[in-house]
Structure 1
Amino acid sequence: MLYVGIAWTADGYDVEVIDARGNRAAAPAQWGAERVSELTQWLLDTERESRLPCAVVVDSTNGLLDGLLTAAGLAVHRADPWVLPERPAFGSVSALALAESARTALGSLSPLTAEGGGQTGRDDDYHNGIRHSEPLEAELGRTGRCLRHGPRDRREIALTFDDGPDPVFTRQVLDILARYEVRATFFCVGLHVNALPDEVRRIRDAGHSLGNHTWSHPFLPDLTAEQFRLQIDRTSDAFERAVGEVPTLFRPPYGARTPESLGELLTGGPALALWDVDSWDWARPGPEKIAKTVLDHAQPGSLILMHDGGGDRRESVRALPAVIEGLLERGLGFVAADDLRSVAR
């Protein structure tokens, strides 16, 4: 077996491949965030040429690769903080340390699946974080800075897309939205904003709104307050460079909340945007199931969660026309997520 560690940085991904003895099986490589599809193919080629399976390892602060890699048939594992060296304030542990964690203790890592996503096996930490954050979330709500949905007496909804921009799927989503003259909100990750500023400008120029979705899509319970703030601020800086403006909304990866993260939001920065309708498109259940899930649960004021990046989003794209047509048939209008917050105050 080969062991592949993938570390995220300010610019993209560092990759190390080692064999069962800890020797490098390939030269260290760096990949820009805009080249994830090429990285995926390189890993598949490495498996084929070596005739050895690859155990691919990311850490819990990297939630951008597992969807695409698992869809390609690669075995992806997550390394949690207690099996790794201390992380820097911004960035993951080294790619070599991640590969070594698999070589020496593969059984201590969590295999990731499409159904479980990047937080597979961390449900207790996820729910404990939300429970301990309830007082701070309530405070954000009292000040008009927490949005789950808009007013139920107005026939408006917000369609939102997470984890982009993606050089393929975001454009396909934008084409469908343009066909129906529908407005949406795109919660983008900083790594992709930094690597694909033209795509961000394409979203903005098409009349859609933008939101902050952290830099690397981390599991928030594993971040300190400083690490969380850097994720938000670096992403805001990338938006400023790309489009000359900073989003007013922040959506936490997986919807996770912690007292540390909400405490930082209370001191300033973007408002918290969650959702009340999860399409479950990230689990790739099929386009018909995605559309049915949305249409079965959407109502006036809903914030609908879909994805244009962070994985294989072909099913999301194929489901989108049915979603839009079904909501239009109910007489619902499409607005930006921040517009729902404005009328909800």
Structure 2
Amino acid sequence: MLYAGIAWTSDGYDVAVLDAAGNRAHAPTHWGAERVPELTRWLGERERESGLPYAVVVESTNGLLDGLLTAAGLSVHRADPWVLPERPDFGSVPAHVLADRARTALASLSPLTAEGGGQTGRDDDYHDGIRRGAAAESALTRAGRCFRHGPRDRREIALTFDDGPDPVHTREVLGILERYGVRATFFCVGLHVNALPDEVRRITDAGHSLGNHTWSHPFLPDLTAAQFRLQIERTSEAFERAVGITPDLFRPPYGARTPESLAELAAGGPALALWDVDSWDWARQGPEKITRTVLDHAQPGSMILMHDGGGDRRQSVQALPAVIEGLLERDLRFVPAGELRSAAALEAATERSY
């Protein structure tokens, strides 16, 4: 077996591949975030050429690669903080450290699946963080700075896309939205915004809105307050460079929340935008199932979660026309997520006044 460690950096990914003896199987490489599909193909080609299976290792603070890697048939494992040395506040531990950890203690790592995604095996930590942050989240909601849907008595709905921009799928999504005259909101990751500013400009030029989705799509319970703050700030800076806009909405990867991250948002960060309809498109269950999931659960005021990046999103693109047509047939009007937030905040303020 060969062991490939992938570390995220401020501008892309470092890759180191070791053999069973700990020797380099290939020279270390660096890939810009815009080259993730190429990186995926390269790993697949190296695996086939070697005739040996690869164990590909990413950190829990890197949630942008597992979807493409697993879709390509590669065996992907996640290294959690307790099996690694301390990492910097911005960036992951070095790629060769990840590869060597897999080589010496593969059983200590978590195999990732398409169904579980980057959060595979961490459900207890996920729910614990939400439980501990419940009071802080309620306070944000009362203040109009956290929402998962808009008022149910208004025939408005928000279509949102996470993990982009993607050099292929974002353009396909934009083309479909244009065909139907629909506005959407794109929650983008900083690594991709930094690498693909032209794609971000395509989004805003088409009249859609933006949201902050962290820099590297980390599992938030594994971040310190300082690390979380840097994820938000660096992504905001990338948006400012690309389009001169700092989004006022934030969506946490996987929907994870912790008291520490909520405290940072309460101290003056962007508003917390969750969702009430998960399309499950990231699990690649087929376009028909994606469409059915959305239409079975959507109602007036809903915020729908779909994806245009961070994985193989062909099924999401294929499902999108039927999703839009089904919602239009219900006489629902598509609005940016920010409009749902404003309506939800007004409703909360009205309730408090009674």
Q: TM-score range by the shorter chain?
A: over 0.9
User: What residue in structure 2 maps to residue 157 of structure 1?
Assistant: 157
User: What residue in structure 1 maps to residue 21 of structure 2?
Assistant: 21
Task: Give distance in 2, aligned partners of 1:184 and 1:81.
Answer: 36
2:24 is equivalent to residue 31 of structure 1: no
- The unaligned stretches of length 5 or more in structure 2 are 346-354
Task: Give distance in 1, aligned partners of 2:318 and 2:51.
Answer: 35
Give the partner amino acid of 2:99.
Answer: A
For 1:205-220, list aligned pairs within 5 A: 205-220=205-220
2:114 is equivalent to residue 123 of structure 1: no
2:221 is equivalent to residue 221 of structure 1: yes
Cα RMSD, aligned residues only = 0.4
Give the partner amino acid of 2:252.
Answer: P
Q: Which runs of 4+ in 1 moved over 4 A?
A: none
Task: Give distance in 1, aligned partners of 2:157 and 2:50.
Answer: 50
Q: Alpha-carbon deviation of 1:48?
A: 1.1
Q: Alpha-carbon deviation of 1:181?
A: 0.2
Q: Deviation digits for residues 131-158 of structure 1, max 9, x if unmatched? A: 0000110110111000110000000000
Q: Point out the more displaced range, 44-53 or 242-251.
A: 44-53
Task: Give distance in 2, aligned partners of 1:225 and 1:128.
Answer: 17
- The unaligned stretches of length 5 or more in structure 1 are none
For 1:1-345, list aligned pairs within 5 A: 1-345=1-345
Q: Percent identity over the alignment?
A: 82
Give the partner amino acid of 1:18.
Answer: L
Q: Alpha-carbon deviation of 1:49?
A: 1.1
Q: Secondary structure at the match of 1:17?
A: strand
TM norm structure 1: 1.00
Q: Secondary structure at the match of 1:58?
A: strand
Q: Deviation digits for residues 305-333 of structure 1, max 9, x if unmatched? A: 00000000000000000000000000000
Task: Give distance in 2, aligned partners of 1:268 and 1:238.
Answer: 19
Q: Secondary structure at the match of 2:177?
A: helix
Q: Alpha-carbon deviation of 1:51?
A: 0.9
Task: Give distance in 2, aligned partners of 1:294 and 1:27.
Answer: 45
Task: Give distance in 1, aligned partners of 2:280 and 2:48.
Answer: 32
Q: Alpha-carbon deviation of 1:343?
A: 1.3
Q: Deviation digits for residues 190-248 of structure 1, max 9, x if unmatched? A: 00000000000000000000000000000000000000000000000000000001001
Q: Secondary structure at the match of 2:23?
A: coil
Q: Secondary structure at the match of 2:268?
A: coil
Task: Give distance in 2, aligned partners of 1:261 and 1:342.
Answer: 22
Task: Give distance in 2, aligned partners of 1:242 and 1:136.
Answer: 32
Q: Alpha-carbon deviation of 1:46?
A: 0.6
TM norm structure 2: 0.97
